[in-house]
Structure 1
Amino acid sequence: MAVDGLVELKFRLADGSDIGPSKYSSTTTVTSLKETIISEWPQDKENGPKSINDIKLINAGKILENDRTLDQSRTPLSEVPGDVITMLVVVQSPLPDKHSGNKLLEYDALISIVNLLYEI
């Protein structure tokens, strides 16, 4: 994952497009990665994240915690030395009112995650 303390990452969006790849220090926090995603979000894409709380980053099936660094979040079995690591970006849509009975948004989000995992 880290060569000379640097990690090369790209972020896969729901439509299959990517942000990156770019190199990051292994001491970079997940919060910092999410801030980068927000700042580099393609302007032509709808439903972009407004804050870091709107984003879930997934690496090797594991949701990464905001306060952890890349080094603390690493999953050695999913890494190939010198290879670019692809992390999935899931943007959470506002959940419907509990009283509305509409679960469609939750199912759409689940289907998007399954489709992204299948593509990798």
Structure 2
Amino acid sequence: MALKELIEIKFRLADGSDIGPNKYTPATTVGSLKEKIIAQWPKDKDSGPKTINDVKLINAGRILENNKTLGESRLPVAEVPGGVITMHVVVRPPMNEKARDKLQDDSMNKGGCACTIL
């Protein structure tokens, strides 16, 4: 694989600190990037993510999907040739069990269409 194909990315946390930069192949999935972020999360920070669903990666204003690869998620406008791409990391605050159950119950109760014909 050519060194030119690697994508250099750093992850910006909410407090302004960074994880990385590291180089990744275009075939790397967003889900695996999130796993790396969780593994490299600074130990001195309290509210670290527990699962990849607790993390959102944002690149050039777009939330990236777990099942997409970097090659599919890249935005040519957001890249500087030979530069480091900065992706912003947003962590969902931890929920207690009661709040999580209520969220699931509410999503189950919602459904159907709310159309009004005048």
TM-score class, shorter: 0.7 to 0.9
* 2:83 aligned with 1:83: yes
Letter in 2 for 1:28: T
Amino acid at match of 1:13: L
| Stretches of 4+ aligned residues off by more than 3 angstroms | 94-97
Shift of 1:46: 1.0
Q: Aligned ranges for residues 95-114 of structure 1 at < 5 Å?
A: 97=99
Matches within 5 A, 1:44-83: 44-83=44-83
RMSD of the alignment, in Å?
1.9
Flag structure 1 segments of 5+ consecutive residues without an equivalent. 98-120
Instruction: State the TM-score, normalizing by the size of structure 2.
Output: 0.77
Partner of 1:33 in structure 2? 33
Q: Residue 4 of structure 2 aligns to a residue in which SS?
A: coil
One-letter code aligned to 2:8: E
| Count of aligned positions | 97
Q: Which AA in structure 1 matches 2:68?
A: R
Alignment TM-score, normalising by the size of structure 1: 0.76
Please give the alpha-carbon distance, in whole angstroms, between the structure 2 residues aligned to 1:3 and 1:60: 24
Q: C-alpha distance in 2, partners of 1:85/1:4?
A: 14
Identity %: 66
